Amino acid sequence: MQVAFFDAKAYDIPSFEKYGGENGIEFKFYETKLNADTAELARGCDAVCVFVNDDVGAEVIDKLYGEGVKLVALRCAGYNNVDVRSAYGKIHVVHVPAYSPYSVAEHAAALLLTSLRRIHKAYVRTRDYNFSLNGLTGFDLHGKTVGVIGTGKIGRVFIDICRGFGMNVLAYDKFPNPEVPAKYVSLDELFEKSDVISLHCPLTSETKHMIDASAIDMMKKGVFIVNTSRGALIDAEALLEGIKARKIGAACLDVYEEEGDVFFEDLSGHIMDDETLSRLISMPNVIVTSHQAFLTEEALNNIAETTVNNILSYFNNDGVCDNELCYRCGEIENCRKGERKRCF
């Protein structure tokens, strides 16, 4: 069984070679991203394995289908880069719904703590033997209110972390979970009452730019915004204006709306064309990491193992895979497959 592996990085390869080799899967690793121009690299392969910035739109799906590809295996949870509707009836799509909620939630907490306690600034100062404390004053998380948008696996772990700090937790989710130890409120109330807002929801047509100028207007002055989910949840221009207006106290971003040609690459010797990203990075109260929240040894192993199991399940089980993204019933992740057990 051959699988074309797009957007391969050095940290991806060992775990996929290990689990693939143990199960008779040959991964063909390509550094290039999947798009309409590179889809032909999958010729002769049974499946493709893709990541968050690969293009799996309608045109790409048609080209993969023409090359005989039967399966798109996402090695991530999000699927906003996949046209699931166009894939229906042609190519099955599977994903990794949970690889390590702890890795992402802990990274969100690390960004928050680094920013509010000015740890990144202290690190730079002391490297130059500057031990002044001027400008390094932070604040206690204890007693503050955090608003968590999205209470799935990652959101729930982040809530537990915040409760450990003694924070009051407000939550918003389209589908509230009574077992989550948080007070569910409307999105407007969450914006109005939170000292910290952390995003842990998928990117859909409903959630795109949920943090926009009007949302920022409702927020407390000095609010901290943390995003480790998908960049387009935040309108970057509105965020920048909110920072310039001193409304937003800090932004902690592991994702960015236009990250596709920037993140995961070394551009240190280049001039940055994205002016919005350049301006955000230049702000003293903004921390940007390059979509690394998932990057732990545990998560990488879980991603590889689950992806390989998804591929094996599809090809060895009559096309049935529990982690299939289904368009047929309208419940993409929570498909009511019934007796059919598959999308089509």
**pLDDT tens digits for range 80-102:** 999 999 999 999 999 998 889 99
Give the catalytic positions in this structure. 230, 259, 291
For residue 311, name the pLDDT band (cuts at 50, 70, 90): very high
CATH of the domain at 194: 3.40.50.720
Answer yes or no: are the C-beta atoms of 12 and 300 closer than 8 Å: yes
Is residue 99 helix, strand or coil?
coil
Q: What is the mean pLDDT of residues 64-85?
A: 95
Which two structure tokens, joined as six digits, stand for 60?
């790409």
208: tokens are: 């795109």
pLDDT band at 319 (very low <50, low <70, confident <90, very high): confident
In terms of residue numbers, what domain contains 81?
2-99+297-340
Please tell me the total count of domains within the chain. Answer: 2
160/209 same-domain check: yes
Provide the pLDDT for residue 39. Answer: 98
Q: Is 238 helix (H, G, I), strand (E, B) or coil?
A: helix
Clarify whether residues 111 and 78 are in a common domain: no
Domain identity same for 94 and 124: no
Q: pLDDT digit string (tens) for 282-305?
A: 999 999 999 999 999 999 999 999
- Categorize the per-residue pLDDT at 343 as very low, low, confident or very high, splitting at 50, 70 and 90: confident
Q: How far is CA 279 from CA 237, 250, 284, in A?
A: 10, 14, 10
Q: How far is CA 335 from CA 52, 76, 83, 331, in A?
A: 22, 18, 16, 5
Structure tokens at 74: 């996402």
Q: In terms of pTM, does the model score above 0.75?
A: yes
Q: Which of 288, 314, 332 is the last residue of a domain?
A: 288
Tell me the percentage of the chain whose pLDDT exceeds 70. 96
When pLDDT is cut at 50, 70 and 90, the band that residue 334 belongs to is: low
pLDDT confidence bin for 236, thresholds 50/70/90: very high
